[in-house]
Amino acid sequence: MTKLGSAIFSRLVIIIPYAWLLFFFLIPFFIVFRISLSTTAIAQPPYEPVFALADGLSGLLAKIGQFSFDNYVWLTEDALYLNAYLSSLWIAGVSTLITLLIGYPIAYGMAQAPRTLRPTLLMLVILPFWTSFLIRVYAWIAILKPEGLLNQFLIGIGIIDTPLIIMNTNWAIYIGIVYSYLPFMVLPLYSALEKMDNTLIEAAQDLGCPQISAFWKVTFPLSIPGIVAGCMLVFIPAVGEFVIPDLLGGSQTLMIGKTLWNEFNANRDWPVSAAVATILLLILVVPIVFFQNAQAKAEEQGR
Amino acid sequence: MKSLGNIRRSFAPWTDPDAKPFITFRNVTKRFGDFTAVDDLTLNIYHREFFALLGASGCGKSTLLRMLAGFERPTSGEIILDGQDIAGIPPYKRPVNMMFQSYALFPHMTVESNIGFGLRQDGMPKNQIAERVAQMLKLVKLEKFAKRKPHQLSGGQRQRVALARSLAKRPKVLLLDEPLGALDKKLREETQFELMDLQQELGLTFVVVTHDQEEAMTMADRIAVMSHGKVIQVATPAEIYEAPNSRFVADFIGDVNILDGKVSASGNGKIELATSDGFTVRTAAGHAPAAGSAAGFAIRPEKLKVTRAAPVDASVNAAEGEIWDIGYLGDMTVFYVKLGSGKVVKASMLNAQREVEDPIAYDEKVWVSFGETAGVVLKD
């Protein structure tokens, strides 16, 4: 390839991810943001103003003048939205913590397993992805409902007499989220733990650390980048989760994904749901930026 | 009194029958599945000794070190340190510290906290830790780097941090696993002498594992040459080099010519060996194999003399040959001389002068000669 050709090629390679972000993130976001500034209308599309080529420049400016932040003001006036955001953050936070508590030992066990066994274990973690997410969540209904497998089993072995009411409670949501997002926690943790140099543990022991304390002083701090990555991968999608609260949660369950769905489909209020989505995005951008920083730091450390 | 080579210092507790060994391996065997890494090994190491375990990879030297550190438990036998059987003591309770081949510095800690790690484990008061760490940093000349992380250091600096960390707890024994393996040649040579000085200064017992014979020869008081889980010879570097007890050791350490033959006469501490190359070697022998038995004779290249004229002294062993190849190495020249039988022996001569008049050239007829005490009769 000529020098010029390779220069163009290297530019092109850089352009691809930017173009991807532009078309599939930035432009859709601006469309959503623009709708959030509109007002509802009984029309198609169900909001106004709607831009048309025939408007001309003055018409365009007049229509832009109609934009307002009323929908955002509305979100602050009705406690429903604030509660939904807070409740989503809380549910996602608790689920992330539970996922970490379950995922860390799994990832640690996998990293300590004999080298020949590791690909199989990794496969087992990824295996659930081969089934549709929706089907897996539906399967939990069959497990958790009052006459479901879990209650039958517990009654069968005599631990309880009356069925546990898990279905349609927040418990079911926690179970659903933890189950669904566990692989996203395990994989980054495993990759962090698997890279760990075992001689570091030996060095810690050599210097007077019993095995457990060597774990807390060496293994754990060195796996923090993996913990951060795993937590972000679980927390961020869990905040906006809709399917799990809709299928497993009760009618009183407040999560922002469900609220958004209601505004959009039941109320047919595109502008308010667009405002809800924009605020949700802002809430999530903060942890994403935090995550990026942590990654950059980890990379520097790994050098 | 004649001795083998120059003994570095008058430190030789192993020659004193009353001296008590500091570390004893007694009939230690270590198996990993079917593989026997250490095979019924018995070894004594003395207090303040700089002891080297030398061997090719897989000979069991690292396993021996790891058993001393406590990372491996012997399958059978006992390991005694300072009068105490340590086989069952976990690594974190042993009064030994190890410097790892990879250094194993904690990447998330500064140089300071790396060095102080073991002290914090022991619950030493903070001000004492700071004092000891400062002392260690001074010892390895890294005072300016206390706040750095390991990835901000060069290879040589990391090596020093690892050394300081393993010395910080003032262990009874310091174990060093290929301590200089990751350094380049110049730095390695410097560091060898630094390690020796340090060991002298601190009065510690050092056990070093290495595959580099030059390193072992330079630093160690005694060397154990290992092969297939067994110790073949334990002796001072000079003894190992000048009086190898076996074909393996003679061959493993340095360059050597080995002539095989049959003992034709034996007596008065001297033997005559009829070599398969068709000439007779008269040599002094530490042991006297019976006449008629097979024996090997080992002689180092630098002990062979290459001359044009036949040596006049009749007591000197000599054989005629032809220059087969010449290797000029700068400090010395190596002559490969093909004897009448077709065997090629290697002789090296120091280039003491810059210019040589009429140097020996390819294909010349020459004589190879050596004295009665230049070589050694091998036991196997």
Residues of A whose CB is below 8 A from B117: 204, 207, 217
pLDDT digits (tens, 9 = 90+) for A145-199: 988 899 999 999 988 888 888 888 889 999 999 999 999 999 999 999 999 999 9
How high is the ipTM of this complex? 0.83
pLDDT band for A102, please (50, 70, 90 cuts): very high
For an interface test with A, the pick among B117, B122, B153, B166 (most A C-beta atoms closer than 10 Å) comes out as B117
Residues of A whose CB is below 8 A from B106: 200, 203-204, 218
Residues of A whose CB is below 8 A from B97: 206-207
A35-49, A268-282, B172-186, B275-289: the lowest-pLDDT one:
B275-289
d(CA A256, CA A273): 10
- Shortest distance between the Cα of B163 and any Cα of chain A, in A, equals 12
Residues of B whose CB is below 8 A from A192: none
For an interface test with B, the pick among A195, A201, A206, A217 (most B C-beta atoms closer than 10 Å) comes out as A206
pLDDT band for B71, please (50, 70, 90 cuts): very high
Residues of B whose CB is below 8 A from A197: 102, 104
pLDDT value of residue A201: 94
pLDDT value of residue A289: 83
- Shortest distance between the Cα of B261 and any Cα of chain A, in A, equals 50
pLDDT value of residue B95: 92
Question: Tokens at residue B27, please?
Answer: 């009939």
Structural domain contains residue A59: no
Q: What letter would DSSP give residue A5?
A: H
Query: How many folded domains does chain A comprise?
Result: 1
Q: Please tell me which residue of chain A has the smallest CA distance to B67.
A: A206
Q: How many CB pairs below 8 A link A and B?
A: 64
- Give the 3-state secondary structure percentages of chain A, helix then strand then coil, rounded to 5: 75, 0, 20
Structural domain contains residue A48: no
Structural domain contains residue A38: no
Structural domain contains residue A289: yes
Q: Please tell me which residue of chain A has the smallest CA distance to B153.
A: A303
Could you tell me where in chain B the CATH 3.40.50.300 domains are found? 13-247
The DSSP bridge partners found for residue B44 are: B24
- B105 near B159, Cβ under 8 Å? no
pLDDT value of residue B194: 87
One-letter amino acid of A47: Y
pLDDT value of residue A303: 47
Structural domain contains residue A223: yes
CB contact under 8 A, B98 and A205: no
Structural domain contains residue A119: yes
Matching CATH number, B13-247, of 3.90.180.10, 3.60.20.10, 3.40.50.300, 1.10.940.10: 3.40.50.300
Q: What CATH number corresponds to the domain at position A285?
A: 1.10.3720.10
For an interface test with A, the pick among B98, B153, B167 (most A C-beta atoms closer than 10 Å) comes out as B98
d(CA B139, CA B201): 11
**CB nearest to A303's CB, from B69, B97, B151:** B151
* Segment (H or E) for B190: helix B185-202
Structural domain contains residue A209: yes
CB contact under 8 A, A205 and B71: yes
**CB nearest to B104's CB, from A197, A222, A301:** A197
A221 lies in which domain range? 70-302
Residue B6 has pLDDT above 60, yes or no: no
At CB < 8 Å, which residues of chain B contact A? Answer: 69-71, 90-93, 96-98, 100, 102, 104-108, 117-118, 121-122, 149, 151, 165-166, 169
Q: Rounded mean pLDDT of chain B?
A: 89
pLDDT digits (tens, 9 = 90+) for B129-141: 999 999 999 988 8
Residue B226 has pLDDT above 70, yes or no: yes
For an interface test with A, the pick among B63, B106, B174 (most A C-beta atoms closer than 10 Å) comes out as B106
CB contact under 8 A, B107 and A210: no
pLDDT value of residue A299: 66
- In the three-class reduction of DSSP (H, G, I as helix; E, B as strand; rest coil), residue B10 is classed as coil
Distance set, CA A20 to CA A17, A26, A281, A297, B280 (Å): 5, 9, 18, 26, 86
Could you tell me where in chain B the CATH 2.40.50.140 domains are found? 255-378
pLDDT band for A10, please (50, 70, 90 cuts): confident
Residues of A whose CB is below 8 A from B70: 205-206
Matching CATH number, B255-378, of 2.60.40.10, 2.40.50.140, 3.40.50.720, 3.90.1300.10: 2.40.50.140
pLDDT digits (tens, 9 = 90+) for B170-184: 999 999 999 988 788
Structural domain contains residue A28: no
- Shortest distance between the Cα of B150 and any Cα of chain A, in A, equals 9
Query: In A, residues 217-256, which contact B (CB 8 Å cutoff)?
Result: 217-218, 221-222
Please count the CA atoms within 13 angstroms of the CA of B70 that sit on its side-chain side.
27
- Give me the helices (H) in A219-269, please: 220-222, 224-239, 243-248, 256-261
pLDDT value of residue B380: 67
pTM of the model: 0.81
Q: Please tell me which residue of chain A has the smallest CA distance to B93.
A: A208
